[in-house]
Structure 1
Amino acid sequence: MIDNNITWWKGAVIYQIYPRSYKDSNQDGIGDIAGITSKLDYIASLNVDAIWLSPFFKSPMKDFGYDVSDYCDVDPIFGTIDDFKALVKKAHDLGLKIIIDQVYSHTSDQHEWFKESRKNKSNPKADWYVWADAKPDGTPPNNWLSLFGGSAWQWDTQRQQYFLHNFLTSQPDLNFHSVEVQDAILSTAKFWLDLGVDGFRLDVVNMYFHDEALTDNGIADSPEKQFVGVDPNNPFSKQYHIHQMCRDDNLEFLKRLRNLLDQYPGSTTVGEIGAPDGLTYMAQYTSGGDKLHMAYTFELLNERCDAPYLKHTMKRIEDSLQDGWPCFALSNHDVVRSASRWTQDSKFVADKTRAMLVFLLTQRGTPCLYQGEELGLPEAEVPFDKIVDPFGIEFWPVFKGRDGCRTPMAWENNKDLGFGSPKSIQWLPAEQKHQALAVSEQTNDEHSMLTFTSQFLAWRKQFDALNSGSINWLDSPEDMLFFERAKDGERLIIAINFSENSLKAPVVDNAQLAWSTHELESSFKPYQCTVWKTN
């Protein structure tokens, strides 16, 4: 039966699923909810605790579900509400929690709210979106830019005003300064909580509010003003977006959301924060126990992965958060897979991939694994004529978009990877170099990444210190990650040689070996990971 501990999310391992690419049950080339349900036994066998589902809501799919046209319905390509209910029931029967993506910052321009709002300036939903008059010369109200290229303002001929869009022009931003908008969003959250979901992953949680004065953005002329997670070649990265997002008004709405979640004991939230100086907002949004339960930023989703950077980043997060709780990921549906991004030019790809996983799963916080990460899948190569991501189409070839991490999951060693039917035309091409890494090839291989992942996750469950204990970084050589996790008298010492060279093994007094990737000798091999238990 499902565990009803209200703080289950502290240190739980969350497995992210991108539904379009997980499992196609009806052979139409697109993954669906029934396909996910058919693989729940596999997911449970990984020894994870929860599933995070990327959007499956009704949508015209111009941004593949992040443009919602109905918050309270399943898009027909993914199935039905009944399919979702069946997934929730089976997941709960297996002891798995369900977290679903919620995209509150913006809707699709096909949402009924926007269709009404754009009619005129006096309809009941006239202020549900961010509308503004043109400047006297007809240009947009200010200099704000869209993440997907160009101005963040789009002229609407019907209403004769500009509307704000931080992403595609077909994704108008909701006006959270309207209490009616907040109420409507909270009612959609209640809808899913009533269906039994255990929490929400909140897309771009820092972008709900904007500066009502529409003040121009300044220049990002210092590191703390840089927007973390955006390609430096994107003009968006040149501005300091403090007026376009990251407004203090957001704190009161997050308190309203938390109040709703508190009525459903055991439910949780994790907020995605893409922002300049994201750690500041991560701390704001998780402090005090009255806003988000967890938040994560993009500090571990870039190409920087040397030991000094990782130590410095984790210490900064710990110092910034205080009583807040972090959530960490090395991969997700928006970035190059970590098995490619962090192993470039490495001579020890397999060992480094394992060390990356151990690092993620031993930090103080809640780790997220992205589908295929348990297999060590590298980034797929998607040719331009097969690209469907509007982000990639806009910025090709310097930035190839997000399709490379979204290709079909590798289930079997065949042409379509066991994703659906070999005869179906898949929404993205299956990556053939994933065949040898398929679940079917790794399941019975005691040396595979899949076996390593499931075994380490099972071993991890023994220790409360790794779930919700404190963390203390210890003195070590520059390339060694060396830290302590402790709770209620249980104390673990973790050492990871995060380099290509052998290092002198650390000395740990009065300890017994608890787990290791290599035999313990006088030197630590490249990417060796060892855990000791002390009294």
Structure 2
Amino acid sequence: MSDAPWWRGAVIYQIYPRSFLDTDGDGVGDLPGIVERLDYVADLGVDAIWIAPFFKSPMADFGYDIADYRDVDPLFGTLADFDRLLDKAHRLGLKVMIDQVLSHTSAEHAWFRASRQSRDNPMADWYVWADARPDGTPPNNWLSLFGGSAWQWEPRRGQYYLHNFLAAQPDLNFHHPEVRAAALDNLQFWLDKGVDGVRLDAINFCFHDRQLRDNPPKPSDQRVGRGFSPANPYAFQYHYHNNTQPENLAFLGELRALMDRYPDVAALGEISSEDSLATMAEYTAGGRLHMGYSFELLTDDFSAAHIRDTVRQLEAQMTEGWPCWAISNHDVERVLSRWGNGDASAQLANLFTAMVCSLRGSVCVYQGEELGLTEADVPYESLRDPYGIAFWPQFKGRDGCRTPMPWSDADAQAGFSHGMPWLPVPEEHRARAVAQQQADPYSVLNGFRAFMRWRRSHPALRWGDIEFVETVEPVLAIIRRLDGEALLVMFNLGTAAIELSLPPLSGSGWTAIGGHGLQAGSIYGNTLRLPGHGAWFARLGNGA
């Protein structure tokens, strides 16, 4: 597999620029800050970085509302800063992926400002417009993910426009061929600059049902999903008509054809549909996206059974594509708080990293995971996320996972900024600052680095096939196979030690492998003893 494309089995480090490092003292992280810390990222042992949006934006949704796809917002720097970032990353051996938000723009984008003026201008049909019903209400029952109707009245046209997210994020009409061409042209701009890949935000939201049919209601026992507050009616519907339309498949083929003109680049799609695993398989088949990821491991559900069943379901359907897994990102509660049940130990943090990096596929790790950061409790008066502000206190939004990276404990702002940070730095994060962990051989940071180095030496973990061994809860057991090498990986997701009798494996010549940096299990005769939050890695002697 030495000739495998870089993205297969890659560990991709997500950088949220606002919160990474501020170099100009305005309290917001910037591209020069990323450049300054690229050596740190390379030293983690990851393969690539994914940078969240840094394009011109009024920041209604902190960059996911783009006003100019081809320029850097002055808040983050300049195009020249991005060129320097790209150059340094490549010299350090890091690939660079950037966010592309295709399904919608900012309401301040020139396209929308033109489209909203009249029903007969050249861009009149570039967005999703619809007449009111006879009583003046919106054209159908579609809901915004951020709460309330997905339709906003525009008096200039006397029509409603669609917004699956904020009202400041109008949806483009991808049924229009000029819209699709313009979106791909913007993508080509960054490919020409030399980026190695794109992460496609909400990629299944590009098309809508032309007939604007109502979404059917969802029974209360099925109203589950990532980040849904009990107060958010979005979960009350099956979202069959406002996203994941069949026309999107042909567009993904067009997108892939563009990317295939560039050597060794990758498209990673973010997918959140009524059946995200099936959509991942469909979107990565037939020469469409290179990789897909969804939110199945970004929920509150933490058990060996959930992880095993989720991966099995995807493996059964994804016969052509390549998965990508994540257990934290900028949209959900940090994994140590979400799954840790009050335990924020280095042992558990490193177990989570090893577990997700032992699944078949690529992996996205979110900045701060390598430090074992927990979710910050941001007070209401400091909230910036419109989602959290709207649904507080039942749901506090996404600010708690977006607080600044703690680089040092020597000052109040944790080495993030010389000014007042856009979000407060939690005191407990200062105690986990990079400077504190560098010198501690048992820190989360050094454990993360050690495991990344160790994983590189085991091709089966990066590229091999996967199967699961049935075990009792809370043990997750995985076998990875590649080119005659078979690795058995076992994780105790619980706090108490557990003993397992493994007769089918007892005579197979399993040999324990050390060096991974986790608290290791041990074999006594035919019994494996796994300590709480412990792991056991072994190689099959004959490789069968």
Shorter-chain TM-score range:
over 0.9
Counterpart position of 1:54: 52
CA deviation digits over 1:456-475, x for unaligned, max 9?
Answer: 00010012111111001113
Q: Per-residue CA shift, 1:187-212, capped at 9, x if unaligned? A: 00000000010011011111000001
> Equivalents in 1 of 2:177, 2:170: separation in Å?
18
Alignment of 1:513 onto 2:508:
no
**Corresponding residue for residue 12 of structure 2:** 14
**Secondary structure of the corresponding residue to residue 219 of structure 1:** coil
1:156 to 154, 163, 167: 154
Pairwise CA distance, 1:175: 0.3
Shift of the 298–148 alpha-carbon distance from structure 1 to 2, 3 Å rule, reads same
Equivalent residue, structure 1, for 2:397: 401
Alignment partner, residue 24 of structure 2 = 26
Distance 1:402 1:225, change over 3 A: closer
1:487 to 464, 473, 482: 482
* Amino acid corresponding to residue 131 of structure 1 in structure 2: W
Q: CA 1:158/1:17 → structure 2, altered by over 3 Å: closer, same or farther? A: same
Residue matched to 2:412: 415
Equivalent residue number for residue 114 of structure 2: 116
Q: TM-score, normalised by structure 2?
A: 0.95
> Residue type of the partner of 2:385?
D
Query: Which residue of structure 1 lines up, in the alignment, with residue 234 of structure 2?
Result: 236
3-state SS of the aligned residue for 2:264? coil
Distance (whole Å) between structure 1 residues aligned to residue 493 and residue 209 of structure 2? 43
Report if aligned partners of 1:33, 1:79 keep a CA contact under 8 Å in 2: yes
Q: Distance in 1 between matches of 2:70 and 2:213?
A: 34
| Structure 2: distance between partners of 1:6 and 1:356 | 26
Determine what percentage of the aligned residue pairs are the same residue: 49
In 2, Cα distance between equivalents of 1:433 and 1:228: 26
The answer to whether the Cα contact below 8 Å between 2:188 and 2:258 also exists between their aligned partners in 1 is yes
Q: Distance in 2 between matches of 1:441 and 1:89?
A: 30
Give how far 1:5 is off: 5.8
- The counterpart of 2:369, out of the listed 346, 362, 373, is 373
- Structure 2: how far apart are the matches of 1:269 and 1:178? 23
Aligned match of 1:360: 356
Distance 1:498 1:79 in 2: 43
Q: SS where residue 190 of structure 1 aligns?
A: helix
Pairwise CA distance, 1:511: 2.7
CA contact (8 A) 2:225 2:299 kept: no
Does the 8 A contact of 2:346 with 2:443 survive in 1? no
Partner of 1:428: 423
CA displacement at 1:232 relative to structure 2: 4.0
Q: CA deviation at 1:501?
A: 2.0
1:323, distance to aligned residue in structure 2 (A): 1.9
Amino acid of the structure 1 residue aligned with 2:513: A
Alpha-carbon contact 2:521-2:535 (below 8 Å) kept: no
Cα distance change on mapping 1:489 and 1:151 into 2, 3 Å:
same
Residue equivalent to 1:350: 346
Q: Show CA shifts across 1:290-340 (max 9, x none).
A: 111111111100111111221111211211212221111110000000011
**Offset of 1:349 from its aligned partner?**
3.5
Q: Distance in 2 between matches of 1:243 and 1:152?
A: 12
1:298-313 to 2 correspondence within 5 Å?
298-313=295-310
1:526 to 505, 527, 532: 532
- Cα distance in 1 for partners of 2:177, 2:385 equals 34
Structure 2 counterpart of 1:389, from 382, 385, 394? 385
Q: Distance in 1 between matches of 2:271 and 2:230?
A: 18
Would you say the 8 A contact 2:413–2:420 is kept in 1?
no
Q: CA deviation at 1:478?
A: 2.8
The aligned counterpart of 1:504 is 499
Confirm or deny: 8 A CA contact 1:198 1:268 kept in the other structure: yes
Equivalent-residue separation in structure 2 for 1:477 and 1:360 (angstroms): 19
Which residue identity does 2:270 align to in structure 1?
E
Measure the CA separation in 1 of the matches of 2:200 and 2:379: 31
> Residues of 1 paired with 2:385 and 2:304: CA distance?
33
Of residues 20-29 and 229-238 in structure 1, the stretch that sits farther from structure 2 once superposed is 229-238
CA distance in 2 between partners of 1:366 and 1:511 (Å)? 26
Which residues of 2 match residues 132-171 of structure 1 at below 5 A? 132-171=130-169
CA separation of 1:306 and 1:160: change in aligned 2, threshold 3 A: same
1:519 is displaced (CA, Å) by 4.7
Instruction: For residues 230-257 of structure 1, give each alpha carbon's deviation from its aligned partner in whole angstroms, at most 9, with x where no partner exists.
Output: 3343100001110011101100000000
State the shift of 1:480 in Å: 1.3
How many angstroms does 1:6 deviate by? 6.5
> Structure 1: which 4+ aligned runs deviate by more than 6 Å?
222-225
TM-superposition CA deviations, 1:132-161 (whole Å, max 9, x none):
011111111011111111110000011111
Deviations 1:117-140 (A, max 9, x none): 111111111100000011111111
Structure 1's unaligned 5+ residue stretches are none
Show structure 2 runs of 5+ residues with no match.
none
Q: What is the distance in 2 between the residues matched to 1:331 and 1:520?
A: 26
Aligned with 2:245 (options 244, 247, 250)? 247
Name the stretch that deviates more: 186-195 or 481-490.
Answer: 481-490
Partners of 1:360 and 1:90 lie apart in 2 by 28
- For residues 34 and 98 of structure 2, the distance between their equivalents in structure 1, rounded to whole angstroms, comes to 13
2:306 aligns to what SS in structure 1? helix
Offset at residue 56 of structure 1 (A): 0.2
Alpha-carbon offset, residue 477 of structure 1: 2.4
* CA–CA separation in structure 1 for the residues paired with 2:120 and 2:317: 45
Q: Secondary structure at the match of 2:134?
A: coil
